[in-house]
Structure 1
């Protein structure tokens, strides 16, 4: 893909986190940025960052709720009318749900699926006719380390990201004839609002409490010591958008590379033993099979 002289990038979930930082990073590199968000009243932080940099004129803020097909259609129509194209789509909008799988409600599962998977699918399908007509484009999905590595207590989130990875792999093959690239970005632990998600469910099962305590200790340590600057991910998104022949996958962060390679290199039995030990998931009592 050769970027046009004044490329247009559309980013979902731009009110905070990776989406906000990516909006600024793309605007700095000369892109026209369509920053979409479910509630445009939350644009204050983004506008406050753009204004002193003199970049506000490069950004079009558009309401878009990834769980509402009519909202998506209206947003894409607005972009078509105002700018005439979308060269890069960054599917960033997402939520997290914590808790053990047995405790996760059907309502929580549906929220995750509708936002993190079906939302990205619907946005992509709405943009694709424009990209096919252009015979060029790039679609970047913000996946996660959790899309390749199972993480207890974040199992529902991981399962949906696993599904997103499979969708993106197939889509990449199907869109190759139209010169539309598909890329997965898999960050590790970065400082975004997703880490503010409460990691408790309405329904908790006491049998899991001892494991819950171990995980929460590890979680708090990650929050206090290991979260990295999201600008690293934003800058990589720009780099990927400008790369002539991008790879399918881009893990970002030492923790992402480390855990992905451990998962790939270790036989499952050894990997399972390692995770059990770290998170105190060893079988309890004499009835467990080790």
Structure 2
């Protein structure tokens, strides 16, 4: 059995990805800041596939020590982690000129640092095994900045840049690295807003893409995939 680690795993895209991997028989290391969410979701995943192992941990991934402890514990409980899904992220609707003093730190520590640190933790193990797949959930803001979300855009640009560096470093070892670049996706980021879900990307669209990319032949890698709403961005 393969083992996957997913950050921010109980809602939105992370939740959909965990469910899709469970259906594929992949063991899971999942985390959230809320223990009650983890307990309920673990029960749900166990019902979907009673044969997989599920390791859960209450983690604030923006705190480096908590993230590193999660990575270490996941490895101890499940063994070699061959799939990483960098899903954690925050979005704040604000121009850089109107940012609070801690806005940049919050965005860097949530949108960029976890992917960087998990790569540093697991990368050499993947190289030694000559096996692994890293998925990084970026954003269309990684390609075209959103003026109303300036700091978010900056960190998502950096995240896509990190993904390119990871892919370049890992390519010769057969370790795959894929950037998932979604447009307007129906997650909690839209909570409180009136939106038409039929004109948005759904979390299940993202999880379906990830599973299909993961199942490709050993010689194939999807470097980047952009998934936008059929009717255009919201």
TM-score computed with the length of structure 1 as normaliser: 0.72
Matched, 1:174 2:169: yes
Contact 1:15 1:37 in 2 (8 A): yes
Are the structure 2 counterparts of residues 226 and 139 from structure 1 closer, same or farther at C-alpha, using a change threshold of 3 Å? Answer: same
Matched, 1:248 2:206: no
Matched, 1:145 2:140: yes
CA–CA separation in structure 1 for the residues paired with 2:165 and 2:124: 18
Choose from 67, 74, 87 the match for 1:92.
Answer: 87
User: What residue number does 2:180 align with?
Assistant: 185
Tell me the matched-pair count.
232
Question: Secondary structure of the equivalent of 2:20?
Answer: helix
How far residue 228 of structure 1 moved from its aligned partner, in angstroms, is 3.4
Are the structure 2 counterparts of residues 83 and 44 from structure 1 closer, same or farther at C-alpha, using a change threshold of 3 Å? Answer: closer
Structure number with larger C-alpha Rg: 1
Contact 2:68 2:117 in 1 (8 A): no
Contact 1:138 1:181 in 2 (8 A): yes
* Runs of at least 5 residues in structure 2 that lack an aligned partner in the other structure: none
Are the structure 2 counterparts of residues 225 and 84 from structure 1 closer, same or farther at C-alpha, using a change threshold of 3 Å? Answer: closer
CA–CA separation in structure 2 for the residues paired with 1:155 and 1:104: 9
User: What residue number does 2:156 align with?
Assistant: 161
Question: Secondary structure of the equivalent of 1:74?
Answer: helix
How far residue 126 of structure 1 moved from its aligned partner, in angstroms, is 1.3
- Say which structure is richer in helix: 1
The equivalences for 1:140-289 within 5 A come to: 140-196=135-191, 220=193, 222=195, 226-244=199-217, 245-254=220-229
User: What residue number does 2:102 align with?
Assistant: 107
Are the structure 2 counterparts of residues 223 and 56 from structure 1 closer, same or farther at C-alpha, using a change threshold of 3 Å? Answer: farther
RMSD of aligned Cα (Å): 2.4
TM-score computed with the length of structure 2 as normaliser: 0.88
User: What residue number does 1:27 align with?
Assistant: 22
* Runs of at least 5 residues in structure 1 that lack an aligned partner in the other structure: 1-5, 199-219, 260-277, 279-290
